[in-house]
């Protein structure tokens, strides 16, 4: 990871460590980089954060100052930007979002012409430009100055694309949608309504400061209650930019990304659509997923955490399904990034085709108790490479054997170390996590 761009773009608190000057320079570089031999076209989308409007204009100013044209999708989802970039004549796309983070954070995700995240070497060049290591870029003048174009039609084309993927009607299915007061608020209901579902929506009234606040995929409890209280068949929760989806079955039970991959993987195998008979997951996926896939005769591969690594593995191996426990699910036949609404549609398809409830579909997978604790640290790499921490993790995994595991890793988007344990009971998980957390504190890594 570079100085500015982590696993999910350039992320920070708005006007603290991600400023309008940063956004302007990102726009300046992209307009210059893609416009060296032609007039570049760059599409920009944003989520519902208060600061997204500010960054949208700063990016557009930078893009047009370098001579490229900026096409504005306005409030939309990350996967919609990916779709528009790869299906139309755009050089790259930009999504302004901090995904599941609080409203005061924001981020700049750059998507290349193929619809997936920007190459690391280009991100490094952007960082060098921001730091003044490559001098000033030429400004466009006169007729070469770029323009901004209202491109809401691109978002509408994406909605049509989603609707076209469903092969059957959702008629009479009662579906709950938690839009996290984010990007899905502008899209999800119209898709499910068009497919015939009886759609019930919560948290779809963004005000700029309520995105992800006690709602969406990171706060699933309200959707669980809503599904049960209203007797719904299923519920889907998205994050701020709708590239994640978690589900709730008719009993109000959480169906996370691992369980979604299991259900869809088994169905795709039955239909002959699971390429290489393989599901791509990350090292954070629950051990229960891997045991269930073994039982179903499905192979799997494990990557580093981050949907960009999942996608890279899928492309390299020609796999068709992959994702993360957090709900980033990639169906490579249809998308180049995680797509929450697409994931919802795919789950609905399985339920309808199999004529089974979601609780029935997930019954074969037994998820192990898991505990994840985030420890804010002064230096992530120093904490991660501490010999005592490494030794303690190795000893813990030896003790757990095949009945669990302990994983310690640094976040790609926050100044924290994530300590995760899986075991047969919650108490065992707690004991192993506390062992590492206490050691991080004792060795002076924990920040105040």
Catalytic residue list: 99
Give CA separation, 137 vs 55, 120, 132, in Å: 20, 21, 10
Cα 29 from Cα 91, distance rounded (Å): 13
Planar angle of CA 310, 313, 314, nearest 5 degrees? 85
Give buried/exposed letters for 391-422 (b at 16+ CB in 10 A, else e).
ebbeebeeebeeebbbbbbbbbbbebbbbbbb
| 355 sits in which H/E element | none
**CB–CB of 212/240 below 8 Å?**
yes
Instruction: Give me 317's structure tokens.
Output: 């191996």
CA-based nearest residue to 259, from 270, 269, 250, 248: 248
Instruction: Give me 414's structure tokens.
Output: 């926050």
Give CA separation, 200 vs 173, 186, 231, in Å: 11, 14, 11
Cα 239 from Cα 215, distance rounded (Å): 9
Residue 239 annotated in ligand binding: yes
Q: Is 76 helix (H, G, I), strand (E, B) or coil?
A: coil
Residue 241 annotated in ligand binding: yes
Residue 47 annotated in ligand binding: no
Query: Mapped to the 3 state alphabet, what secondary structure does 398-425 carry?
Result: HHHHHHCEEEEEECCCCCEEEEEEECCC
Residue 243 annotated in ligand binding: yes
Instruction: Give me 11's structure tokens.
Output: 């992320």
**CB–CB of 303/285 below 8 Å?**
no
DSSP secondary structure, 90-124, as one string: -SEEEEE--TTS-TTEEEEEEEETTSSBPPHHHHH
Cα 288 from Cα 300, distance rounded (Å): 13
Cα 221 from Cα 175, distance rounded (Å): 16
Instruction: List, as residue ranges, the binding site for Mg(2+).
Output: 99, 239, 241, 243
């Amino acid at each position: 990871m570079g100085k500015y761009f982590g696993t999910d773009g350039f992320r920070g608190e708005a006007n603290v460590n991600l400023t309008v000057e940063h956004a302007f320079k990102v726009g300046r570089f992209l307009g210059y980089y893609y416009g060296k031999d032609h007039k570049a076209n760059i599409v920009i989308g944003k989520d519902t954060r208060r600061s997204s409007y500010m960054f949208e204009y700063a990016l557009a100013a930078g893009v047009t100052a370098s001579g490229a044209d900026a096409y504005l999708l306005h409030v939309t989802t990350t996967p919609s930007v990916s779709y528009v970039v790869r299906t139309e004549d755009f050089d790259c796309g930009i999504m302004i979002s901090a995904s599941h983070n609080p409203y005061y954070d924001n981020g700049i995700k750059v998507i290349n012409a193929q619809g997936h995240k920007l190459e690391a070497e280009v991100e490094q060049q952007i960082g060098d430009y921001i730091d003044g290591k490559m001098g000033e870029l030429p400004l466009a003048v006169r007729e070469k100055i770029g323009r901004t174009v209202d491109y809401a039609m691109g978002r509408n084309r994406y909605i049509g694309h989603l609707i076209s993927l469903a092969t059957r009607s959702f008629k009479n299915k009662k579906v709950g949608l938690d839009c996290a007061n984010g990007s899905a608020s502008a899209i999800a209901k119209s898709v499910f309504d068009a497919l015939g579902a009886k759609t019930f929506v919560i948290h779809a009234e963004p005000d700029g400061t309520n995105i992800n606040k006690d709602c969406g995929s990171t706060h699933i409890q309200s959707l669980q209650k809503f599904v049960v209280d209203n007797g719904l068949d299923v519920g889907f929760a998205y994050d701020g930019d709708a590239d994640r989806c978690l589900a709730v079955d008719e009993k109000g039970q959480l169906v996370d990304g691992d369980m979604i991959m299991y259900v869809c993987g088994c169905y795709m195998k039955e239909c002959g659509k699971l390429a290489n008979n393989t599901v791509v997951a990350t090292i954070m996926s629950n051990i229960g997923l891997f045991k269930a896939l073994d039982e179903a005769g499905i192979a799997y591969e494990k990557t580093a955490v981050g949907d960009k690594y999942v996608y890279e593995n899928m492309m390299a191996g020609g796999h068709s399904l992959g994702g993360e426990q957090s709900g980033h699910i990639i169906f490579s036949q249809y998308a180049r990034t995680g797509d929450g609404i697409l994931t919802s549609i795919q789950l609905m398809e399985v339920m309808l085709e199999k004529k089974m409830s979601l609780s029935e579909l997930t019954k074969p997978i037994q998820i192990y108790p898991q505990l994840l604790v985030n420890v804010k640290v002064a230096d992530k790499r120093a904490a991660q490479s501490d010999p005592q921490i490494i030794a303690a993790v190795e000893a813990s995994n030896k003790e757990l054997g095949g009945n669990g595991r302990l994983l310690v890793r640094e976040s790609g988007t926050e100044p924290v170390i994530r300590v995760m344990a899986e075991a047969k009971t919650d108490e065992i998980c707690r004991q192993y996590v506390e062992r590492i957390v206490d050691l991080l504190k004792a060795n002076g890594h924990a920040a105040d």
